[in-house]
Amino acid sequence: MTEQLKQKLNDSAMLRWSVLALVAFTMLCGYFLTDVMSPLKPMLEKELLWDSLDYGFFTSAYGWFNVFLLMLIFGGIILDKMGVRFTGMGACLLMVFGCGLKYYAISTTFPESSMLFGFKMQVTLAAIGYAVFGVGVEIAGITVSKIIVKWFKGKEMALAMGLEMATARIGTTLAMVLTVPLADFFGTTDETGTFHTNIPAPILFCLVMLCVGTIAFFIYTFYDRKLDASLDAEGLEPEEPFRMKDIVYIITNKGFWLIALLCVLFYSAVFPFIKYAADLMVQKYNVDPKLAGTIPGLLPIGAIVLTPLFGSLYDRIGKGATLMVIGSIMLIFVHTMFALPILNVWWFATVIMIILGFAFSLVPSAMWPSVPKIIPEKQLGTAYALIFWVQNWGLMGVPLLIGWVLNSYCKGPVVEGAQTYDYTLPMAIFAIFGVLALIVALLLKAENRKKGYGLEEPNIKK
């Protein structure tokens, strides 16, 4: 009877895909806010008098609490001990609170002399809000990963993870494409006839979406409770509980560390790049600032289509380690092209961005479904949390590094009141991250041959 109930709930295609849709929508809302400030960088400098160092400081805040206060690791332990319902709802509430604080900071005018931690009060408060949000969205990410493993293990797990990532990328696309139009639509003209964009407007829109995403996850908890209750009622033997000593097993696993290093190196060359991509389009490729987010918006659009495709490929034929190697090679090529002083025209930037979309799909579609092949399911929450913690070092440090490099070494002349920048050196830095990611991917492939993790084997068991 227990097995029949298990099959009815876990093996029902309609139920498991419905569950995926709910939690993936929650992540879409989170990713919208994650990247909503990227297209606004030129406006932040013009309207709010931020500079590149202020912007780099703000974007680095995403990982502050996760890295230094170990909030992400604690979140993973709570996830393994308390379950996906408790942890996921807590993460959603943190996202909403962090977004609210960020909106308050951006929408409030502070005295010019008002400083906190050596930065403008507005910048610092917005950064703290972003840091709180970063805790919520990262814990939500590991929670959703464990949910997918719970419902799709032995089935279309890589496809499910790919579809979840693709849905989340829609949030990134919306951020890149809609942010400037929203800021312009709600803009105002002062008494001198000067038009001012409404920078807080898209952030308020994100706050509303996060509230809707929290409701979606709350609905999911009823499905999860029904699954657990029905299995418990039939006397299913529970899995051995997570223990603190399991952390030792995880951190002494070489395969785990190779995955974690690949994650931080790869994403350090993608997510921080997205933060500056719209400005790159303006500075190097002479794209209108109002349209600058459109070309980087192609990156997540490509991932929306390709990540599920490559995930399904991994499910059916395997070759996960090989996919990670190929994606790393493409990453190197893309950033090298962005760094070289050639073809500084919009169509070339578009082509390169599309290629980056392939890399952005290949590596994650193989990397995340590979973790359950290396780490037992009872330890997955903590394992994902540790990987995300390592990743957050890059998400925190690299944007600040790029902002400092731009401010210190890459300034050009001021044109029509706007500071110009040369992005050659930042793009070279991103390319170096790609080279390091390739080295780690090759080491992971060799470790897989040695330990037999099954990374080159399909996920669907026949």
Q: Confirm whether 195 is domain-assigned.
A: yes
Strand partners, 418: 415
- How confident is the model at residue 7, as a pLDDT? 52
DSSP string, 294-348: HHHHHHHHHHHHHHHHHHHHHHHH--HHHHHHHHHHHHHHHHHHHHSS---SHHH
- How confident is the model at residue 113, as a pLDDT? 75
CA angle 28, 33, 37 (to 5 degrees): 140
| SS3 assignment, position 188 | strand
| SS3 assignment, position 78 | helix
Residue type for 302, please? G
- How confident is the model at residue 192, as a pLDDT? 78
Q: Which of 157, 255, 11 is nearest to 459 (CA)?
A: 157
Q: pTM for the full model?
A: 0.76
Supply the range of the domain harboring residue 286. 245-461
Residues 222 and 357 in one domain: no
**Rounded-to-integer distance, Cα 126 and Cα 175, Å:** 17
Residues 314 and 170 in one domain: no
**Rounded-to-integer distance, Cα 344 and Cα 68, Å:** 40
Rounded-to-10 torsion of CA 444, 445, 451, 453:
90
Q: Confirm whether 399 is domain-assigned.
A: yes
Calculate the alpha carbon distances from 26 to 33, 62, 171, 216, 387 in Å: 12, 18, 10, 6, 21
- How confident is the model at residue 94, as a pLDDT? 96
Residues 205 and 300 in one domain: no
Q: Confirm whether 324 is domain-assigned.
A: yes
Residues 62 and 192 in one domain: yes
Residues 258 and 391 in one domain: yes
Q: Which of 338, 39, 17 is nearest to 184 (CA)?
A: 39
Q: Confirm whether 39 is domain-assigned.
A: yes
**Rounded-to-integer distance, Cα 271 and Cα 269, Å:** 6
- Longest Cα separation, the chain: 76
Q: Confirm whether 28 is domain-assigned.
A: yes
Buried b (16+ CB within 10 A) or exposed e, 410-448: beeeeeeeebebebeebbebbbebbbbbbebbebbbebb
Kindly state the helix (H) or strand (E) to which residue 421 belongs, with its residue range.
strand 418-421
Residues 266 and 321 in one domain: yes
Structural contact between residues 306 and 358, judged by C-beta atoms closer than 8 angstroms:
yes
- The secondary structure of residue 116, as a DSSP letter, is E
Residues 235 and 252 in one domain: no
Residues 234 and 250 in one domain: no
Residues 217 and 250 in one domain: no
Q: Count of alpha carbons within 13 Å of 29, Cβ hemisphere only?
A: 28
Q: Confirm whether 1 is domain-assigned.
A: no
Please report, for the domain that includes residue 314, its CATH number.
1.20.1250.20
Number of domains in the chain: 2
**Rounded-to-integer distance, Cα 35 and Cα 275, Å:** 7
Strand partners, 421: 411
Residues 383 and 262 in one domain: yes
Each residue's pLDDT expressed in tens, for the chain with a length of 462 residues: 344 444 556 667 788 889 999 999 999 999 998 888 888 888 888 888 888 888 889 988 988 998 888 898 888 888 888 889 999 999 999 999 999 999 999 998 888 777 777 788 999 999 999 999 999 999 999 899 889 888 887 777 778 888 888 888 888 888 888 888 898 888 888 777 778 788 999 999 999 999 999 999 999 999 888 877 765 655 554 455 556 677 788 888 899 999 999 999 999 999 889 888 888 898 888 888 777 778 887 777 767 777 788 878 888 887 888 889 999 999 999 999 999 988 888 889 889 988 888 888 888 888 888 888 888 877 777 888 888 888 889 888 898 899 899 988 888 888 777 788 899 999 999 999 999 999 999 999 999 999 888 888 887 766
- How confident is the model at residue 99, as a pLDDT? 95
Residues 235 and 380 in one domain: no
- How confident is the model at residue 102, as a pLDDT? 95
Residues 201 and 125 in one domain: yes
Q: Confirm whether 2 is domain-assigned.
A: no
Q: Which of 204, 208, 187 is nearest to 196 (CA)?
A: 187
Kindly state the helix (H) or strand (E) to which residue 418 belongs, with its residue range.
strand 418-421
Q: Count of alpha carbons within 13 Å of 304, Cβ hemisphere only?
A: 15
Q: Which of 184, 218, 239 is the last residue of a domain?
A: 239
Q: Confirm whether 124 is domain-assigned.
A: yes
Q: Which of 182, 212, 239 is the last residue of a domain?
A: 239
Q: Which of 239, 266, 294 is the last residue of a domain?
A: 239
